[in-house]
Structure 1
Amino acid sequence: MHLSNISIKGYKVVNETSTVALHKGLNVIVGENASGKTSIIDAIRLLLREDEFGFSPVSEKDFHKPFTDNSQPADNFFIQGQFSGLSKDDKVTFLPWYDLKEHATLSLKFENKEKYGRYKKQVWGGSSKSSVFEWELFDKINCIYLPPLRDAEAKLKEGKSSRLAKLLKNLEASAIKDAKGNYKLHKLEERFKVFNDEIATSEDFPIKGMNDKISQQLKDAVGQTFGQHTHISFSEVGFNRIAESLRLFFFPGIEEHENKENYRSLDENSLGHNNLLYLATILAELIDSGEQDERLKVLLVEEPEAHLHPQLQIKLLKYLETISLSREIQVIVTTHSPVLASSATINSLIHICSNNGKVNATPIKDTGLDYKVSIKCETHDGCSDITIPESADFLTRWLDTTKSTLLFAKGIILVEGIAEAFIVPQLAKKILKKYNSTNKPKLPESIDEAGVSVVNMNGIYFKHFMRLFCNFGIEDKESANIPIRCSGMTDQDPEKDLDENGNKTIPASPTTANHNFGKNPALNLIATINKSEYCRLFVGPLKTLEYDLAMEGNNIQSMASVLAENWHNREEVYKELKEISEKDWCKETLKNKAEAANEILKRIEDKNMGKGYFAQLFSETITKNSELATPQYITNAVLWACGGKVSDQ
């Protein structure tokens, strides 16, 4: 049994009805700030009566209020959970919630009508509000929450709210009650009672003398009639008080240390390790709860990356995934960490974004990533088709900490290589400045300010990445899409030109070195991609990024200047580049310009330079050169991702 979806309306940042699909095992919810992740977690806590939240009173801030002038809070808020995967025993236990469609539902509604500091509440199971609600069913649900900025030290110290106390009480629940449910003396209580009796009566300890002196002073002060007898002991011997007196100490190593005096208190430990100790206590409480008839165990964790370095984040997430399956605990994690997002399996990721009070939740596994495609090689006779792997497997391998930023962005620009990754963000500043001078509403002044990520795919893998944002190539099947704008930049990659010596002026890329398709295979996707709501693929008009950039305006002059200033050895090359950098290429013929652009491209790809190094150097020039021209396809890619209007190429 697991919580398969949560529907919310009018609660906190959620205005319109929003449904988040969840699955058994590990769920990793990702998305930008203020997208609704915390509202989802709090809604689950409230619905399932999580120990530290479910009994707290609702406040006026829980009713959604739009960020508009003279706005009014919602009249009510509604939360509904659906439970799936019910066993035969689950169906019997939760029969009042069962809807006869292999699901159980639990609904909660609060009216925005305050009376005596509280708001009117309705709770019902199944489809009928009128049926008698059995509150005892919540005893079959164990929901535990770990906040993002948790005070682990305070939670592990002694007291009524101590997690150590709760763990011991859960583990010993059956040991303090008999078969009829009546309280019985626990062996810990017996030992404490013997200890207290011994120190209170023995002449070997000062306790007896203290007690006698206090009693004598009372007798002398108020007399025999009004005096009271006293008894001194170290603690009450009740099981709950014993449990609440427990404290946790640590030693910096996993092996037990023989000398107990070497153990330290938690205030001497690091925040990160205290968080891990706290989480370990929570997991012990969930895994060995002592309740044999618990039907649902849910662990809610907000930002587990708090105070943990990347290696620990990865280790922790993998462990949560393991115990979620082996111990049948549904784990729901929210995170801002690209490290965690890139370490999670594709099937566990759920992307969240918000638009005018509606939360859009997209399970990545539902975006149609299971599609395989074969491309026929038309170059070599008898050559077998090239099979591109499943997109899910591909993205699992490729979504590292840099590429996984696409899961937290407001917009995406997919590029083929490191050169575009360096150059596009700098060109974007010029593009956005020019756009804002003639258009309203204005766009942010940079892609960073716009929350747009440039993702370097290191190849022409648009088919795999863009499947997250649009449907294509899937017959008779609709898939979910992440509802944010995604643009891609790609090259024409025409047949390779040969110079007078028979050398290719544009070397084959690593992805097509053995199979010359004659053109970029990603171009076959444009017709479908560009009809979608969120995706566009923009193509350079000529050859490749550097060549197309050189053919714009007087860019050859700036590019040749950068090459000349940073060229090593071969004096004749330096002189040639210097001459190119001193011409006004706006006045040259198209043929001369193309020859110079080819020369620029040749030198960029020379072993003395390289595309990545040149892009780094040239990106510094972009910010200083106000006259630099930008190819239209780059302009369109930037504007689309940032939410602007694009022009026909």
Structure 2
Amino acid sequence: MYLSQLKLWNFRKYGSQSNNLDLENPNLTVPFEKGMNVLIGENDSGKTAIIDAIKLVLKTHAYEWIKIEKSDFHRNTEKLRIEIHFKGITDDEAKHFIEWLGWDEKEKTPELILIYQSEIRDNRIIASDIKAGMDSTGFLLVAEAREYLKSTYLKALRDADSELMAKKNSRLSQILQEHKLFKKKKDGIIKHELEQIFDDANGLIKNYFNDCKAIEGQKSNKEQIANPINNFLKDFINEDSNSKFDITEAEIKSILEKISLGIEGKNNLGLGTMNRLFMAAELLHLKKENYDGLKLCMIEELEAHLHPQAQMKIIETLDREARNDIQFILTTHSPNIASKVDLKSLIICKDNDVFPLGVNYTYLGAKTNQSKYKNSYKYLERFLDVTKSNLFFAKGVILVEGWSEEILIPEIAKKINCDLTKKEISIVNVGSTAYLDFAKVFLRKDDKKDLGIPVSIVSDLDVREYERQAVIENSKQIEISGQKQYRLIKQNIINHASLIKDKENKILDTENNFVKPFISKQWTFEWCLLKSKILNSYFKEVLKSVHVGTFGECNTDEDYWEGQLAKLLLSKNLNKTELAYQLSEKLKQINAPLVFEKDDTFHYIVDAIKHACKNGN
């Protein structure tokens, strides 16, 4: 069985400010997959609220004190409701919930819905029991059935050191007590093997302190320790009082509370190692044999105290376990984790809603009437690395095709008062023209029209202002010093607007208010820099610096600059990265803002920046 859906009404940030709960229209519906589910998003996007709602209904194996608080009610409301739906229930699992089960006609398997509803009356919270059933109210779910629906939960910033040390009601003792190996048989009449071991140990301890043998003139153990204490006890209490020394009660709970967990051969373990040890112990719940209950593990901020390589190792292990009928629901702020899991496992939390990236919700795996809407999951699986995965946590995204744009655009943004860092905007260098594969992350095919994240796709027009024409003599190419010689033919391109529109349609064949292409006004990014009224002089300086042999003359003829740049572009010898870096450094020295007029060839970059920043702080 697995948790297939969570529905919330007026729970924390998810609400309508009305006490009339519309059961047909939850304030939030979260679909979950069988195996791995990863909730991602910026701070305060609602990830923890989702986890806490599940915990409130299911409780945890850790026996945490979880109860409803006034702060759990959506602002100015006095009623809340939580529903948890389970599917994929096997016959062995179904036997525990026969009275409450329904039938899933689509999957032809039993279905279970848990219902929790609470309200505030006279400024007091009226607690509610967990109910279950296929109607809107359900019937009381008895404690015995609820035992099979507990979850394993690891909180954020977990204190692994404290949880694994020997102490009363330690988390380690609770974990071990849940295992069948430590269950007593025959109603406790027969002692557990550990209890017998401790009986023997306590006998040895008792004999040690009651030993009457004196060695080498010293008093015996009993004379030195037990007798003085016993004498005081006779005075303090009565003549029949005598002390007893032992390790602990020979009872399995007390014994397990004396056990701590570490790593053999290692002392003074750091936070990261202790965290991993703690997770390994908690996951023991999910590896119990012949267990007919829910196998659900929720981990908040898996990355806590873990360096990136450790995060990768752990998420790979959990992903493997998720294929063995174990369900995981994780929250994370880590691009490392987001880049490592299957894209279909990700659920973006944003603007009081959730946006799953599974096949039923985006165009990532679907085809439309346009052939280029190919399956993008495989492509992104290869190329969505840690750097690119930061797009999941951004308030806006700028997709670019190369290093030049990635280096220079942040500095341009500062000069037009749109600091990308302050506004939490990510630049993603796709390293190719495969914009659509990344853009489809933000294009929905479900009833949610978009994520509300502005995405700018920056691309070159790629229509040459100059065309190369080989020098022909007697129908043969002349080679001088081993190089084919050519001259440049300048083209008269009349309708840039039409060409730009055609390029936009090739990049994105659907209208969207948030995902928009921004095409260079002319040939390439560098060509627009040269032709820009604002950046022309700065770009010429770096051209002379980077390509000394080509731009060594102090020539003011624009045709000269265009021709030389065209040769470098056509021969692919232009050092674009170094040019962008040096121009970026030069712009940092300018204290005044840059003002680009609408007719400036570089204004398309300004438009792309402003679009991506429109939701920024």
Shorter-chain TM-score range: 0.7 to 0.9
Q: Distance in 2 between matches of 1:420 and 1:609?
A: 14
Q: Distance in 2 between matches of 1:160 and 1:222?
A: 28
Give yes or no for contact 2:132–2:140 (8 Å, CA) kept in 1: no
* TM-score scaled by length of structure 1: 0.79
Change (3 A) 1:84 1:375: closer
Which residue number corresponds to residue 539 of structure 2? 559
Matches within 5 A, 1:202-351: 204=211, 208-209=222-223, 210-219=225-234, 224=239, 227-251=240-264, 263-264=266-267, 268-288=268-288, 292-326=290-324, 328-351=325-348
Equivalent of residue 537 in structure 1, options 517, 530, 541: 517
Which residue number corresponds to residue 257 of structure 1? none
Q: Distance in 2 between matches of 1:483 and 1:371?
A: 21
- Give the counterpart letter for 1:230 in structure 2: S
* TM-score scaled by length of structure 2: 0.82
Which residue number corresponds to residue 388 of structure 2? 403
- Give the counterpart letter for 2:47 in structure 1: K
1:154 aligns with 2:130: no
Structure 2's unaligned 5+ residue stretches are 17-26, 105-109, 213-219, 472-485, 490-498
1:36 aligns with 2:46: yes
- How many residues of Structure 1 are paired with residues of Structure 2 in the alignment? 561
Q: Distance in 1 between matches of 2:63 and 2:570?
A: 61
Change (3 A) 1:367 1:480: farther
Change (3 A) 1:467 1:595: farther
Equivalent of residue 578 in structure 2, options 595, 613, 622: 613
Q: Distance in 2 between matches of 1:137 and 1:3?
A: 16
Q: Distance in 1 between matches of 2:80 and 2:221?
A: 59
Give yes or no for contact 2:459–2:519 (8 Å, CA) kept in 1: yes
Equivalent of residue 611 in structure 2, options 624, 640, 644: 640
Change (3 A) 1:207 1:560: same
Give yes or no for contact 2:119–2:125 (8 Å, CA) kept in 1: no
Report the Cα offset of residue 480 of structure 1: 7.3
- Give the counterpart letter for 2:248 in structure 1: S
Change (3 A) 1:30 1:219: closer
Change (3 A) 1:97 1:414: farther
Q: Distance in 2 between matches of 1:84 and 1:136?
A: 20
- Give the counterpart letter for 2:532 in structure 1: E
Change (3 A) 1:505 1:29: farther
Give yes or no for contact 1:314–1:343 (8 Å, CA) kept in 2: yes
1:18 aligns with 2:28: yes
Which residue number corresponds to residue 584 of structure 1? none
1:392 aligns with 2:377: yes
Partner-residue secondary structure (3-state), 2:127: strand
Give yes or no for contact 2:205–2:247 (8 Å, CA) kept in 1: no
Which residue number corresponds to residue 7 of structure 1? 7
Equivalent of residue 359 in structure 1, options 330, 353, 358: 353
Partner-residue secondary structure (3-state), 2:205: helix
1:97 aligns with 2:100: yes
Partner-residue secondary structure (3-state), 2:103: coil
Matches within 5 A, 1:27-106: 27-52=37-62, 55-65=65-75, 72=76, 74-101=77-104, 102-106=110-114
Change (3 A) 1:388 1:484: closer
Change (3 A) 1:235 1:7: same
Partner-residue secondary structure (3-state), 2:116: strand
Seq. identity, %: 28
Equivalent of residue 411 in structure 2, options 417, 426, 443: 426
1:524 aligns with 2:505: yes
Report the Cα offset of residue 451 of structure 1: 1.6
Q: Distance in 2 between matches of 1:94 and 1:598?
A: 79
Give yes or no for contact 2:15–2:74 (8 Å, CA) kept in 1: yes
Report the Cα offset of residue 89 of structure 1: 3.1
Which residue number corresponds to residue 589 of structure 1? none
Report the Cα offset of residue 367 of structure 1: 1.1
Report the Cα offset of residue 397 of structure 1: 0.8
Report the Cα offset of residue 359 of structure 1: 2.1
Equivalent of residue 108 in structure 1, options 99, 109, 116: 116
Q: Deviations over 1:520-579 (max 9, x none)?
A: 9964346733x22321112112111111232221532211112223445x3xx3432x43
Which residue number corresponds to residue 425 of structure 2? 452
Equivalent of residue 171 in structure 2, options 152, 155, 163: 163
Equivalent of residue 494 in structure 1, options 457, 463, 474: 463
Q: Distance in 2 between matches of 1:154 and 1:505?
A: 74
What is the Cα-based RMSD across aligned positions, in Å?
A: 3.2
Report the Cα offset of residue 627 of structure 1: 5.0
Q: Distance in 1 between matches of 2:43 and 2:487?
A: 48
1:369 aligns with 2:364: yes
Which residue number corresponds to residue 474 of structure 2? none
Q: Distance in 2 between matches of 1:44 and 1:594?
A: 68
Q: Distance in 2 between matches of 1:194 and 1:546?
A: 84
More off after superposition, 119-128 vs 147-156: 119-128
